A and B are shown apart, each in its own frame.
Chain A
Amino acid sequence: MRPALNELVGKYKNNLYAVAFNICKNPDDAEDAVQDTFVQYFSNKKEFETEEHVKAWLIRVAINKAKNINNSFWRKNKVTLDETMETLAFETEDSKELFETVMKLPEKYRIAIHLFYFEDYTVKEISEILKTSESNVKVRLSRGRNLLKETLKEGWENDE
């Protein structure tokens, strides 16, 4: 199967943007990563087995694009996270604190945490997206959770 590009943009642009922002910490860079991701989909003729397969592929590509932008010597967009935070309309102070705490995690924990808590992926699915072992994902999730708990205390439950 190969869903139409416009259909995928409508469905997943914000998911891809969120995961890219998680890496870039910058709205313009994150949007560039999303654009590049859809361009890559548009420019190849890859067939997919299911829509979940398409989504996982898009997320994996978006992560790679975002990392590339992060590593780029000439990084165009220099807006800081603090500046961006001022533009985001959080529902509650707790949400804002959680968001800030997550963004302070090391990148490798942050991505795993995001895929688990935002995208509802299982450890196995995350390992496939990140091309790493399940045990590695478990370690990243565990360390990420511990760091969140340390800062957020009652604002973050102990879970697995």
Chain B
Amino acid sequence: MTNKEKYKQAFSVLHTSENFSPEVEIMAKINKKNKIRAIIAACIGIFTVGGLSTTAYAANVGNIQRQIQLWVQGDQTTATLDIDETQGEYKISYTGTDGAPVEISGGGITIDINGNEKPVNEQEIMEHIMMPSVEYLDDGTIWVYYKDRQMEITDKFDEEGFCYTQIADGGQTYYMTIKKNGGYGIDTIKYPSKKNFNY
């Protein structure tokens, strides 16, 4: 036998499992999960507010544009961040690994100690742009994403529906309190109290 024949015989034992599904519908759901990995949560102060969406971005007067380094599926890539401070909305554009353009949009509000709400501004978006995010997938699982890391937390919630997790990155630690279907908070000193979740 030639080396190639020997090699092919040896590695022919590798094949996908019987559960591997080529169904497009399932692929589409997983696809959503992967897209969400790249989405940046506008987690402002103690709450995450404003659902991330993939709806079209309305160009408004007063937009700000920045070039940023974005984590996308484990790789850093240069992206363009467009911010509309009047609406607290942003759009991120970058070129995918396959060369196709990708656009992601979202937004949020801040809540100060008096309970006043205002749209997020450029600084707030920039400060939080690389923070961990939480996403609920169509298959019912719940995930935390941070840079190139991912962790399923579906089964990590207590009886009251809270999950506590922390993420270390160099000298920085993010403490996360996540309320199932109720947003999440991030703090760099301690876990945000569940008392702050008033919805």
Q: Which residues of A contact B (CB under 8 A)?
A: 5-6, 9-10, 13-14, 17-18, 21, 27, 30-31, 34-36, 38-40, 42-46, 57, 61, 64-65, 68, 71-74, 76, 88-92, 94-96, 98-99, 102, 113-114, 117-118, 120, 155-157, 159
Which B residues contact A (CB, under 8 angstroms)?
Answer: 2-4, 6-11, 13-17, 20, 22, 24, 27-28, 30-31, 34-35, 73-75, 96-100, 148-152
Residues from chain A with a CB closer than 8 A to the CB of B24 are: 5-6, 42
Is there contact, CB below 8 Å, between A102 and B96? no
Q: Per DSSP, are chain B's interface residues mostly helix, strand or loop, or mixed?
A: mixed
Give which listed residue, B10, B22, B27, contacts A95 with CB less than 8 A: B10
Q: Which of B16, B31, B74, B75 has the most CB of A within 10 A?
A: B16
Of all chain B residues, the one with the shortest Cβ separation from A73 is: B149
Whether A18 contacts B11 by the Cβ 8 Å rule is yes
Residues of A within 8 A of B31 (CB): 39, 42-43
B6: which of A10, A27, A95 is its contact (CB, 8 Å)? A95
A9 to chain B, nearest CB (A): 4
CA distance in complex: A38, B22 (Å): 9
A71: chain B residues at CB < 8 Å are 74, 148
Determine the chain B residues whose CB is within 8 A of the CB of A43 once the complex forms. Answer: 31, 34-35
Q: Establish whether residues B98 and A13, one from each chain, have CB atoms under 8 Å apart when the complex forms.
A: no
**Are B148 and A72 closer than 8 Å at their CB atoms?**
yes
